[in-house]
Structure 1
Amino acid sequence: MGQLQDMSAEEPALSATAVFASLAELRDAPGYSPKAIAERLINSMGADAAAPLLGIKVELLDRWASGQDAPNAHGRLQLADLDALVGHLHCAFTPAQAMDWMCSPNAQLGSRPIDVYRVQGSAPVIGAIRAHAKEAFG
């Protein structure tokens, strides 16, 4: 908590209204649409890998990516969650390292990161990626 207070002393305060007003447009922003995220995931990891992690069939992911179909609210959250995880993986690892790290036992998570993601979502896995990056690059 002290760290947050120190940061606020250095940086100008942002009002919640200003932050959320700018986020209001985000849903329709080209790079954040479900179509764009589905395309990015397919390009990054392939539909055969992304679809099972999203809990959907490849054909549905392809329809989302082509704009023929749109995900419901749960599907949009799943897309955003996997997109966030993939973004963190790309920042911390090469593709081969990311695959190896996701499929290897992780002491911090108590399991393989891919298994933790399937049960708990990206948050704990992203935390472990950040801890790994801090150790590696700290």
Structure 2
Amino acid sequence: MEQLQDMNADEPALSATTVFASLAELRDAPGYSPKAIAERLVNSLGADAAAPLLGISVELLERWASGQDAPDAGGRLELADLDALVGHLHSAFTPAQAMVWMCNPNVQLGSRPIDVYRTQGSARVIGAIRAYVQGDLG
């Protein structure tokens, strides 16, 4: 069985089968359903802020959050991407600090984080948040 390798030798190796068997049940996990993620984003950001970041109408986001409608595969990915960004923002900043950080130029990103998110998704912005937390204030 192939083992997933980790840089830390003190931690036990995980088999890929174990990890992927656990992931198989993730789709049904209540906290990871599109409805739950949409609700979390509406509660965290508000529908008026979250919907434009997702590229959808407020009405559609509210239908997703209420379970009246469900996103397609692309919409599910957009929800997950924004949810990951919001989670990292909440772990690193107060809400007021997050707003300031997202809306001001960032040296590491070469632009405002909100603009980078809108054009490229969350990966680079999350990397910049991690760098900030580790002391590279960028």
TM range (shorter): over 0.9
Q: How does 1:73-112 map to 2 (within 5 A)?
A: 73-112=73-112
In structure 1, C-alpha distance between the alignment counterparts of 2:7 and 2:124, rounded to whole Å:
26
Aligned to 2:81, what secondary structure does the other structure show?
Answer: helix
Partner deviation per Cα, 1:15-70 (whole Å, 9 max, x = no partner): 11110110111111100000000000000000000000000000000000000000
Structure having the higher helix fraction is 1
Q: Which residue of 2 aligns with 1:21?
A: 21
In structure 1, C-alpha distance between the alignment counterparts of 2:21 and 2:107, rounded to whole Å:
40
Q: Which residue of 1 aligns with 2:59?
A: 59
TM-score (norm 1): 0.93
Deviation at 1:6, TM superposition (A): 3.9
Aligned length, in residue pairs: 132
In structure 2, C-alpha distance between the alignment counterparts of 1:12 and 1:117, rounded to whole Å:
35
Q: Percent identity?
A: 82
Q: How does 1:120-135 map to 2 (within 5 A)?
A: 120-135=120-135
User: What are structure 2's unaligned runs of at least 5 residues?
Assistant: none
Deviation at 1:11, TM superposition (A): 1.1
Q: Alignment RMSD, CA only?
A: 1.1
In structure 2, C-alpha distance between the alignment counterparts of 1:6 and 1:69, rounded to whole Å:
42
Instruction: Give yes or no for the alignment of 1:113 onto 2:117.
Output: no
Deviation at 1:88, TM superposition (A): 0.3
